[in-house]
Amino acid sequence: MTDTRTRVVVIGGGYAGTLAANHLRLRADVDITLVNPRPVFVERIRLHQHVAGTGTATVDYGTLLGEGIRLVVDTAKGIDTANRQVVLASGDRLDYDYLIYAVGSTGTPPAVVPGAEQFAYAIAEFEYAQRLHRALDELHPDAPVVVVGAGLTGIETAAELAEQGRPVTLVCGGLLGPSLSPAGRRSVSKCLRRLGVDVLETAVVASVSPGAVRLVDGTVLRSAVTVWTAGFGVPDLAARSGLNTDELGRLLTDEALTSIDDPRIVAAGDAAAPSGQPLRMSCQAAGPMGVQAANTVLSRIAGTEPAVLNQAFVGQCVSLGRKHATFQLARFDDTPINLALGGRFAAWVKEAVCKGTVWGIRREATKPGSNPWLKGGKRAERLAHEAVTVS
């Protein structure tokens, strides 16, 4: 008897991978395996809360995954494209007919900054956040903390710690909130000042040592704990497996999220670079991309042409402690407009977004195909226009 079932392996159990796995259940003849290094789902958008002890950042996969999805707690060490197998750290191999690559992103202090790797704490992954939480727990409340990096993660971490009364310095290395509009930056800056955060916008770190951060202008900042939030990268699994990636290591795909090297591999989330022009690293992008990656696989199983990437953005919401936030509005193509909402209402919106992402995953688990996302980013038209402009 011929086996007509299709085996799909999803690497990565974050926002993109978990939604992709649940969405694949639209077909009853698909065997779905989700590979993740942890037995729990990590809400990365709450890691700054975990660090500060103001909230939790993990959810039991038993409440998130649809019936029949197999969870393998292991780390993917390689992709054997010739034999269609995922090689695991345990030595096991998983056969696949299609693979969804959703390994996400990470961030660690750079080796080029002396002392950063040894003495600064990262926050981008759960294990890093746990280590930082323990270090902060051991500090006296008045001990100075330096946060390096003024993207959204750095802003949220600095605000969360300052709201607890800790003396916090935020070293921006450039513009505060570079992805925000001037109105958004003013809103964030106002709240950080109210919380007592010392914002050094143009300062750049030269080195990190135990108890201190030295800036390039020679200034030395006292720092009992230094938190490094500047810069994100992606795991090198795709490159190590012989697949084409961009300079950061994101898997190169077409607009249907299919690898340019292998039609059996589809990518989603932070580690995907469709047409070499990736979307902003965020759960706002990862979730819909996970659903679209699953749709691409389902289309290929059905023998139909998969749809091209088409999702719109609404803005960015930055928490500033538990009582305030800034909601930066944006055009559908993710370009910020010079309009932002601040204060308690924005904090309510931010919390609703955080809760809504988990609710959406659970909803997709119980009713595959129910997870909506906003369309209309007109990405195809924009890419075509840019191509004409360049030529």
DSSP alpha helices (H): ranges in 7-80?
15-23, 47-52
Shared-domain flag, residues 65 and 88: yes
- Residues 218, 240: one domain? no
The reply to whether 102 and 239 lie within a common domain is yes
| Mean pLDDT of the 238-250 span | 97
Residue 268 resides in a domain? yes
CB atoms within 10 A of CB 146: 25
How far apart, in whole angstroms, are the C-alpha atoms of residue 100 and residue 258? 9
Q: Are residues 296 and 158 in the same domain?
A: no
- Does one domain contain both 202 and 301? no
Question: Picking from 150-159, 198-207, 261-270, 369-378, which range would have the lowest pLDDT averaged per residue?
Answer: 369-378
Element (H, E) at 302: helix 283-302
pLDDT band at 257; cut points 50, 70, 90 = very high
How much helix, strand and coil, in percent to the nearest 5, is found in the chain?
Answer: 35, 25, 40
In a domain? residue 355? no
Tokens of 260: 């340019």
* 213 and 300 together in one domain: no
CA distance 300 to 222: 57
- Give pTM, 2 decimals: 0.94
Q: What's the domain count of the chain? A: 2
Residue 100 lies in a domain: yes
- The answer on pLDDT for 332 being more than 90 is yes
pLDDT at res. 3: 66
Looking at residue 151, what DSSP letter applies?
A: S
Residue whose entry in the numeric block shows the structure tokens 């056969």: 95
Report yes or no on 215 lying in a domain: yes
Structural domain contains residue 131: yes
Question: Distance between CA 81 and CA 87 in Å, rounded?
Answer: 10
243 within domain boundaries: yes
Residue 36 — very low, low, confident or very high, per pLDDT cuts 50/70/90? very high
Domain that holds residue 101: 6-106+233-310
Same-domain status, 83 and 127: no
Please report whether residue 348 resides in a domain.
no
- Give the domain-ending residue among 310, 340, 361: 310
Q: 228, 249, 279 — which closes off a domain?
A: 228
DSSP code of 37?
S
Evaluate whether 285 touches 279 at the Cβ level (below 8 Å): yes
Same domain, 59 and 86: yes
Which H/E stretch holds residue 159?
A: helix 152-163
Q: Look at residue 367 in the predicted model and tell me its pLDDT.
A: 96
215/257 same-domain check:
no
pLDDT at 1: 41
Do 41 and 87 share a domain, yes or no? yes
The domain that contains 49 carries what CATH number? 3.50.50.60
Residues 95 and 242 in one domain: yes
Q: Is the pLDDT of residue 382 over 80?
A: no
Q: Which residue among 202, 228, 254 closes a domain? A: 228
Note whether residue 326 is domain-resident: no
**Res 374: pLDDT:** 79
pLDDT of residue 4: 86
Residues 58 and 130 in one domain: no
**Edge-to-edge order in the sheet of strand 225-228:** 120-121, 225-228, 145-148, 168-171, 198-200
